[in-house]
Structure 1
Amino acid sequence: MHQKGAIQIIEWEDLDKRKFYSLGVFMTLTTRATVYPFSLIRTRLQVQRGTALYSGTWDAFCKILGAEGMVGLYRGFMVNTFTLVSGQAYITTYELARKYVSNYSPSNTVKSVIAGGSASLVAQTITVPIDIVSQQLMMQGQGEHLTRFKVKPKMAIAASKHNFTFGQTKDIMTQILAADGFRGFYRGYVASLLTYIPNSALWWPFYHFYTERLSRLAPTECPHLLLQAIAGPMAAATASTLTNPMDVVRARVQVNCKLTNPMDVVRARVQVEGRSSVIETFKQLLAEEGMWGLTKGLSARVISSLPTSVLIVVGYETLKRLSLRDDLVQNRHW
């Protein structure tokens, strides 16, 4: 019988690494495929001015599905699958950082904050160029007037016939290189770090905090995995709400949508990724839409984060249990 509140955490040294990585790729791909439509909706909501195109998450879902079909909800998904690399980099960095920090601090909160932030830093360095391209593809269709980069008409026709095509991807990448050079693939990198590092650093400690609290309230015989599956969405909703303003800025900087003021267009093209573009985008957003603009896409983000968190928690905790070293399998209570 386990002690209330004492849910065992499987650490890096407890894992069979071959099982961990082979099963991890499948888990990550399944999760991304499930929540991708909400990511697309969130991006379109955040980039639009006011409610010019969609009035909310449900309205966006219905309009995209009606006008573009299921293909519209998965625009850019094939490119986005390359983030599987960053997913594996994330979990590796997280586990190794926890192990390293444990040499200096026994606090699970400290380990979670540092490891979560470090993992996000590594992952975003890999992910941002992929996000730049996939987000531009997300904006094609009903949202193409909001972005500088558009696929050629022939490419669009081909895409409608054959679902997904890398011809569109090549077209977008060529336009980004021509307009901004290689640095165009890291547009919004600072904004991404300011969004996802805090989000990751907050999610893990909140996740463990909620798990421990639920464990103390639940009956002793309650499965740990069930408690963790509940704690995951709670942590995601908390972290998403706190970091959404920066996520709106990140989307605007990366997509670099059309601006009403010609001087803003010049400034956006001249500015490189970095502090100035983040601050200017933030100021512009506040000037045009006020504080309310900082909540754009929050419902879509929370909605997508809830099932994502359940899948991640159940998948990740199950993955770690299936990847336990053989000599530890019989000694753990789940």
Structure 2
Amino acid sequence: MRIVLDFSRLVRPRLTGTRAGLFTGITVALYPVSVVKTRMQVAVKDSAEKNAFSVIKGLLKNDGVPGLYRGFGTVITGAIPARIIFLTALETTKVGTLKMVEPLKFSEPTQAAIANGLAGMTASLFSQAVFVPIDVISQKLMVQGYSSNTRYNGGLDVARKLIKSDGIRGLYKGFGLSVMTYSPSSAVWWASYGASQRIIWRFLGQNSGAEKFAPSHAQLISVQAAGGIIAGATASCITTPLDTIKTRLQVMGDKGQTARQIVENLIAEDGWKGLYRGLGPRFFSMSAWGTSMILAYEYLKRLCAKDEQT
């Protein structure tokens, strides 16, 4: 099946802002999973919070439901500008890449994987300038007071103390690892999504020659949701070790730990599986967030296409 859309229509400010707001709503629903994942990744050897259920139980016992939203204010503040940058770069790069690979006569899944993967990686690179400081501040708030981590009086207090101790670079702690984590993760996610969608359509008997094929709304949602789940599973399994190292570096960097020391400590405490701390919540987050996001994303693309036709 071949569905052709002019992606350049989707970078209009009004539509991009709408999508960014919609994705921010998805972030609200799934934010507690990020808190659980982060606390699991920074847990010390003798911590009682060794799994997701114990983390949730401890947070609810000590702070109630607000404990599941530690650092949320900081994240939501930076979410909209970061998403606008991400989505604009994503669509712009995707259009250019598709034009570049079409003459090479690759199969549709391969073309989709290349275009989506490069677009996802580029979009992530552009958005890191906004995202990394937000990530550093929010993660410090997520684990404050936990395993002897410093307590803070809100996001501004975190930023003030980081700048005072390390200058502006304190807000970009772990920037290199963030780029190494999120750019490949984004590339793998979008490449897996683009390729898996087309493979699923082919499996359902819709090949590239079926130009007049008009899938039902239910079919579209099912295939897009399946693609989002496959993409989330693939990306989380490949990039969780880097995410664990990045998180511990950003949260524990003020204790003098380097990336190498973090890896050595994780392996000493839990063996190689220590690098996969938080895999369950991260897999759930990437699959659930990705599936919700892609359904909203594709829905708005269809609205845009209809708008252009009227």
Does TM, normalized by the shorter one, top 0.5? yes
CA distance in 2, matches of 1:196, 1:175: 26
- The answer as to whether partners of 1:19 and 1:322 remain within 8 angstroms in 2 is no
Which residue of the partner structure matches residue 114 of structure 1? 118
Between 1:69-78 and 1:8-17, the stretch displaced more is 8-17
Classify 1:123/1:22 alpha carbon distance in 2 versus 1 (closer, same or farther; 3 Å). closer
State the AA in 2 paired with 1:44.
R
Aligned-residue offset at 1:325: 6.0
Between 1:105-114 and 1:280-289, the stretch displaced more is 280-289
Which residue of the partner structure matches residue 289 of structure 2? 308
Which residue of the partner structure matches residue 175 of structure 2? 189
Identify the match of residue 241 of structure 2 among 239, 245, 253.
245
TM-score normalised by structure 1 residue count:
0.81
Aligned-residue offset at 1:174: 1.8
Which residue of the partner structure matches residue 101 of structure 2? 105
Identify the match of residue 34 of structure 1 among 29, 32, 41.
29
| Number of aligned residue pairs | 291
TM-score normalised by structure 2 residue count:
0.87
CA distance in 1, matches of 2:13, 2:172: 32
2:138 matches 1:150 = no
CA distance in 2, matches of 1:134, 1:39: 10
Q: Secondary structure, in 3 states, of the residue corresponding to 2:101?
A: coil
State the AA in 2 paired with 1:150.
R
Alignment of 1:164-313 (within 5 A): 168-218=154-204, 221-222=215-216, 223-256=219-252, 265=255, 267-268=256-257, 277-313=258-294
Alignment of 1:41-190 (within 5 A): 41-50=36-45, 52-81=47-76, 82-106=78-102, 107-141=111-145, 143=146, 145-147=147-149, 149-151=150-152, 155=153, 168-190=154-176
Runs of 5+ in structure 1 lacking a partner? 1-5, 156-167, 259-264, 269-276, 330-334
CA distance in 2, matches of 1:257, 1:63: 25
Aligned-residue offset at 1:243: 0.5
State the AA in 2 paired with 1:35.
L
CA distance in 1, matches of 2:28, 2:7: 27
CA distance in 1, matches of 2:164, 2:130: 21
Q: Following superposition, which runs of at least 4 residues in structure 1 exceed 4 angstroms of deviation?
A: 219-222
Aligned-residue offset at 1:139: 1.0
Report percent identity of matched pairs. Answer: 28
Aligned-residue offset at 1:19: 4.1
